A and B are shown apart, each in its own frame.
Chain A
Amino acid sequence: MTNPSLYAAQEPIFPRRVSGRFRTLKWWIMIVTLGIYYLTPWLRWDRGPNLPDQAVLVDMANRRFYFFWIEIWPHEFYFVAGLLIMAGLGLFLFTSAMGRVWCGYTCPQTVWTDLFLLVERWIEGDRNARLRLHRAKWDVRKVRLRITKWTTWLLIAIATGGAWVFYFTDAPQLAVDLVRFEAHPIAYATIGVLTATTFVFGGFMREQICIYMCPWPRIQAAMMDSDTITVAYREWRGEPRGKGNVRKRDKLAAQKAEAEAQAAGPGAARYAPTPYPKAALQVGGTPRITAEVQEHGDCIDCMACVNVCPMGIDIREGQQMECITCALCIDACDDVMDKIGKPRGLIDYLALSDEPREREGQPPRPVWQHIFRLRTLLYTIMWGAMGLALIYALFIRTDIELTVSPVRNPTYVIQSDGAVRNIYDVRLRNKTGTARPFGLSLTSEDVLRIDLEGANDLLQVTVPADSTLMQRVYITSRPGDPAATRNQTALRLWVEDLETGDRASRATTFHGREQ
């Protein structure tokens, strides 16, 4: 007995070209997602002077994130956290409703692999040609095709890595700097790394990334249940499968059965196991067709679903961790079903909970009944609540802002005349593109005096454009006044943009002399 190898070489996969509804949808999604990725950094958005005019910009150096009309400062990072929570909840929602749609349609690994496959097909031909080329000895033609393919891949990879860095600085300027070799080394290093990962992941690793490196399949599988709509094979309709030569013998019977199935309605024909009444299978009074043959299902074992699969699996074996639900096997099978005159949907998006009904020849429950259930409803509510909260937070933001941190070491200072003074560090934020004069004031139920460090009797400070100014503020209570002797007095600090009249305020506390 020899010990089996514990390591297996990667099995090359040569997905065949396919066309159909889902393939068309995937082409459009690829165009849209890649379009967004490559073009977004080039969109301009006029924010006035002193501010960048790039619509989407992650400005690490100045700690700013620009998204069209929204500008996020580091202290507003909760927006990013909120969006991540929404992305998480959205993933839960989509996965529990429709399985691994993220993997199948929009995951960058899927989209770029699809693009690389398109290139591969365009240069080396479809499945059979690629298989032949794979097995062929290295000759001039093979070398030429391989080099053409790899070069095209590499160009796409460079464009991919190149597009990424444009999100982090002014894109037109960086593009000029990049070709003049004047850009920052980090830009070149980032492009290099992303070019390498795109080239290797999209060109060579492909399904290996999904199967062995990505944690998503495990997580997503945990979020699916029997009501989740997913890509599956109607084994109760298709089995036992059989190739054409077996079928020829009972073509007649099959046609007859088909007619009966059609008579039962298109819904039933699509989902139900094909009924083969024994009487219909008898030709000339002789039972020529054995029981085994009588029970042939709709699957003609043409392997179309397997040949188009980018993951190299056979969907007919049931739900598998490798399946990214790209739905290409649906397109392939529907095509075959059309050709052999069978109803579509042998491989279909379906909920596994419908299996018992379909086995009995009943149509499945409507899709909305699968999708609208407590779980998805809860995810939707949580997702929507998070979104509304973020929108609300976005609208209550002002262009000017202040935060107040009272100096607590010590909480108060006695002045020589007995007055009690509190010190506050006030951060004033001017989010506009021009320097603005800010006026400071306070409101309180008690008499308090406000002074600014730098002996500014006008209580005015000028905050430079798009920046934060730290201003020390002194608030004083005269000796004997209530605020001086009370432990704590509530007050509110106001900042006003003296040009526009915009105001913002913060509540804080005045500490009196402890009695």
Chain B
Amino acid sequence: MSDKNIDETTGTETTGHVWDGIRELNSPLPRWWLWTFYATIVWGIGYVIAYPAWPMISGATAGVLGYSTRAELAESVDAHELANASLVGELVKADITGLAPSDDLHRYAVARGGAVFRAHCSQCHGSGAAGAKGYPNLLDDDWLWGGSMADIEYTVRHGIRNEADPDARYSEMPQFGEILEENELMAVTEYVISLSSPEHDAALAATGLELFADNCSSCHGEAALGDPELGAPNLADAIWLYGSDRDAIEYSIRNARFGVMPPWQPRLTEPDIRAVSVYVHSLGGGEE
């Protein structure tokens, strides 16, 4: 019988295939393995029928189970919304000024506000809220328009010096380059520098004092401590929105600055506005 090809060396049956005189030993796979393979094919066909599979011109075949990852996402978003519904309701209604950091509502507001901040505020104020030149640092204890929860919420809601919101915070500094003489500008600049830096020309600053009292103190105050009602910055502290060097200060006096922030009232939802206010207040500089 030459039905079976037997390899002489090993005594093992060969498959009968020959390549250049080389024969292949037959090491049969278990039959159940083959059935497992067929089972995966059946499974695959079932899968294609049950789940979205074939790409079509618009979209894909839906599958008889109607499964969709988008729907699943929407479902889980809804589930979270539902779970947070009472917190959201509370956030809109409750007095958010006195919340302790360990309060659930505070933690929720900070987490939500952080997300809102990164999406809508970080473009100007930076992802860490450290600000940039012309964009206030929100981590420190210096606030142009007040740092209480109510102040912050108002600023977020209505913005600053914008035309979109009639309730926006508003003030405008005159361009003293058109009002004061050149030497007077120098003197006022020297005086403003003298308020926070020991390195200044005392004599020149002394002349600037009088000019400051006449021209600037109505907004910035006699002691130049600023006025949050008018958004007038404190000129005696260590924080300078546009820089503390002589050129920057002189530029501010000569040309004035006009920092603008958009109102968020229509663009953000009510809970988002409240949440981002709590978040900004929690960053380290929030006032009572």
Which residues in A have some Cβ–Cβ distance to B below 8 Å? 1-10, 208, 212, 407-410, 413-418, 421, 423, 453-454, 469, 471-472, 474, 479
Contact = CB atoms under 8 A, between A and B. Distances in A.
Nearest to A410: B130
A474 B284 contact: yes
B238 A418 contact: yes
A8 B16 contact: no
B101 A454 contact: yes
A408 B126 CA distance: 13
B29 interface: yes
Interface string B103-132: 000000000000000000000001110100
For the complex of A and B, the 7 pairs showing the least CB-CB separation, nearest first, are A409-B128, A416-B237, A418-B238, A8-B28, A410-B130, A454-B101, A416-B142
Interface residues on B, range: 20 to 34
Contacts of A474: 284
Contacts of B142: 415-416
A415 B140 contact: yes
Interface string B21-64: 00000101111111000000000000000000000000000000
A409 B238 contact: no
B141 A415 contact: yes
Contact of B29 (A8, A410, A423, A472): A8
B288 to A, nearest CB: 9
B101 A4 contact: no
A1 B32 contact: no
B215 interface: no
A8 B31 contact: yes
24 contacts: A1-B2, A1-B3, A3-B15, A4-B4, A4-B15, A4-B16, A4-B26, A6-B26, A8-B30, A8-B31, A10-B32, A212-B33, A409-B130, A413-B140, A414-B239, A415-B141, A415-B142, A416-B141, A416-B237, A416-B239, A417-B238, A418-B238, A454-B100, A474-B284
Contact of A9 (B31, B102, B130, B284): B31
B16 A416 contact: no
Contact of A413 (B26, B28, B101, B284): B284
A5 B33 CA distance: 14
Nearest to A2: B3
Q: Residue among A407, A408, A413, A423 with the most chain B CB within 10 A?
A: A413
A107 to B, nearest CB: 20
A410 B34 contact: no
Contact of A7 (B29, B234, B238): B29
Contacts of B239: 414-416
Nearest to A9: B31
Contacts of B15: 3-4, 6
Interface in B75-105: 100-102
Nearest to B106: A454
Contact of B140 (A4, A6, A9, A416): A416
B31 A10 contact: yes
B137 interface: yes
A1 B127 CA distance: 77
Contacts of A417: 237-238
Given A409-B127, A413-B140, A421-B284, A6 B32 contact: no
A350 B126 CA distance: 72
A416 B26 CA distance: 85
Contacts of A410: 126, 128, 130, 139
Contacts of B26: 4, 6
A10 B30 contact: yes
A98 B30 CA distance: 30
